[in-house]
Structure 1
Amino acid sequence: MSHTVYEKQKLIARVRRIKGQVEAIERALETEAGCDRIMPLIAAVRGATAGLMAEVVEGHVLHHLVDPDKHPGALNDDAAQQLLELIRTYLK
């Protein structure tokens, strides 16, 4: 079973926040707001989706790649934490 099932409500809440941010972009465009108002809204959505991606990738690594019971040659905990730190740095 996928780890996203266990974190379903948390992930759905993030998606709904992103949806609200996208709707704010739509409203800004509809009201012909200036690009100085629209660009930060777009950047916020980009950051939010990157954060969502980082969270899902982190769960994938922890639940599917480093579980020694399922994968005997899995990364050790220190290597997994280094990988996750790298992911957090570059996806956010």
Structure 2
Amino acid sequence: MPNQVEDKKKILLRVRKIKGQTQAIEKALEDNVECGAILQQICSVRGAINGLMNEMLEVHLKDTLVSGETTEQQRKEELAEIAKILKSYLK
């Protein structure tokens, strides 16, 4: 969870945009919109999800590893957890 209010607002805004994009895909499917247009919307959602991941990762690293409020052992454990998450995400 982002520690800074501004970070949380930015991330929530991204999530809400993604929600709108996925709802648009659903509507397009219901309205029998051509496949090419739907595929383009899916590409947009994928890009938005990647942006969300980047933003959240940056905030998490800043809040957890850079803040100075964690011990060296906690930072090592957190780094291992982040590496595990990234490996899963990049599959």
**Shared fold, TM over 0.5:** yes
CA shift, 1:28, in A, is 0.7
CA shift, 1:34, in A, is 1.4
For the aligned residue pairs, the C-alpha RMSD in angstroms reads 2.4
State the match for 1:38 in structure 2: 38
Could you list the runs of 5+ residues in structure 1 that have no partner in the other structure?
A: 75-86
Q: Which has the higher contact order (CA 8 A, sep 6+)?
A: 2
Q: Distance in 2 between matches of 1:69 and 1:9?
A: 23
Amino acid at match of 2:25: I
Amino acid at match of 2:2: H
State the match for 1:84 in structure 2: none
Structure 2 counterparts to residues 1-92 of structure 1, below 5 A: 2-4=1-3, 6=5, 7-72=7-72
Greater helix share, 1 or 2? 2
CA shift, 1:72, in A, is 4.7
Q: Calculate the TM-score normalised by the size of structure 2.
A: 0.68
Q: Structure 2 vs 1, CA of residues 48 and 69 (structure 1 numbering), >3 Å: closer, same or farther? A: same
Q: 1:4–1:56: 8 Å Cα contact kept in structure 2?
A: no
Percent same amino acid at aligned positions?
41
Could you list the runs of 5+ residues in structure 2 that have no partner in the other structure?
A: 76-85
